[in-house]
Amino acid sequence: MNWLRKLFQFREQTQGDAVKPFLDHLEDLRWTVVKMAASLALAMIGAFFFVKDISAVVRKPLEAIQGNEPLITLGVTDAFMISLQLAFYAGIVVSFPFLIFFLAEFVLPALTTKERRILMPAIAAGFVLFGAGAVMSYYYVLPSTLSWFSAYAKSMGMDPRWQARDYFGFVTHLTIACGLLCELPVGVIGLAALRLVTFGMLSKTRPYAIVAILVLVAVISPTPDPFTFVGLAVPVVAIYELCIWIVWFMDRRRVRAEAGEIRNLE
């Protein structure tokens, strides 16, 4: 509960002199969760009507390797459960801007008109970055990963005919992971805007962050191919370095603004 109290204290700072009781903050949090859940549910229901088309798109990288050979299902309910899984992940992608907006609306309840103008492009940028990561996974990471695993299975004298549940789970998790990895700028800049991280902190922890990024890239692309690894790691590290200097600019601008306020008070 301590992290909730810290978050609620930050919300009170954004509201000037207004101080809400703890239970009122919990009520706001409850409605935020309800709105996010409703957005995800509506997107998931809408995606379910197109689940056959989504399934065909997800299967294309595998068809390029193994042809039109059907995937194997062993459970009676596998096909239906896979459809729900695909609809759920598609719902996350479709409702992503709304989820971020509702979350930002809760954390920063007293946004000015100028701040709202900045928030909406930031949400749009986050959605574009997420989509870019998903597209990169689909067209670049996924085909090379599937090709390597298929070739390795054949080299071991095995017939790589994968189960549908395993294949769709692997593809959706890999795609979502790449999309979230590309959300790094939004996360870092968002933490900087909340004053939870600074340029000095990011500079000191840069080596550890780079190691963490390399580990994440290695997990997301579990092939020993160095070209795939480098092709993923270099852009992500470059994006993180760019985020550090954006935070430097934000810190410098904040210091100037605070210095100006002090001079005006004097």
Q: What is the DSSP string of 143-155?
A: HHHHHHHHHHHHH
Q: What is the pLDDT of residue 43?
A: 92
Residue 108's pLDDT is: 66
What six digits make up the tokens of 107? 């954390």
Per-block average pLDDT, block size 10, for the chain (266 residues)?
52 52 66 88 92 89 80 84 89 84 71 62 78 84 83 84 85 83 78 75 85 82 69 80 83 73 61
Question: Are residues 142 and 222 part of one domain?
Answer: no
| Shared-domain flag, residues 27 and 8 | yes
Q: Does the model's pTM come out above 0.85?
A: no
Both 178 and 227 in one domain: the answer is no
Residue 78 and residue 136 share a domain: yes
pLDDT given for residue 77 in this prediction:
86
- Give yes or no: residues 85 and 45 share one domain: yes
* Residue pair 137/174 in contact by the 8 Å Cβ criterion: yes
User: Distance between CA 141 and CA 138 in Å, rounded?
Assistant: 6
The verdict on 24 and 139 lying in the same domain is: yes
Q: In terms of residue numbers, what domain contains 138?
A: 2-182
Same domain, 176 and 197: no
Q: How many domains does the chain have?
A: 2
Which of 182, 209, 229 terminates a domain? The answer is: 182
Output the pLDDT for position 46. 92
Last residue of a domain, one of 182, 207, 238: 182
| Residues 192, 174 within the same domain | no
